[in-house]
Amino acid sequence: MPYNRKVMDHFMSPRNAGDMESADGVGKAANQVDGDVVIVRIKVKDGKISEVKHQVFGCAAAIAGSSAFTEMIKGKALEDALKISRQDVADYLGGLPEGKIGCSILGPDALKMAVDDYNSRNR
């Protein structure tokens, strides 16, 4: 299955890409098989993700998946954002080729690390 139009759009024009100054939480997830790396940075206001940025070192699916994931979590309460699964991201994108969901959707793992980081700074 080739990449669909929505995946290609997020790959060619990633949303919320880049660095963030003074992030409240930073998380990094890596794929041990292909070596893809995703970094997610968040700002939190009133328990919600007020800003999110991501950086991806990886394939088209990893870039599109992280872009979509940041769109899905922006403005959400932390606990709701943490419930979004890899499959949810693939569904949002209208599907990904077989085998790509497990290896390329790293945003949920990176967000978990970012929220852990945020919580450790705010104890």
Give whichever of 17 and 59 is closer to ligand FES, judged by the CB atom.
59
Q: Which two tokens stand for residue 87?
A: 């499959």
In the set 11, 24, 29, 31, which binds ligand FES (CB under 6 A)? 31
Closest to 103 (Cα-Cα) out of 116, 117, 89 = 89
Decide: is 114 part of the binding site for ligand FES (CB under 6 A): no
| Pairwise CA distance, residues 101 & 23, whole Å | 27
Residue 60 near residue 13 (C-beta atoms within 8 A): no
Decide: is 101 part of the binding site for ligand FES (CB under 6 A): no
Give whichever of 34 and 51 is closer to ligand FES, judged by the CB atom.
34
Decide: is 36 part of the binding site for ligand FES (CB under 6 A): yes
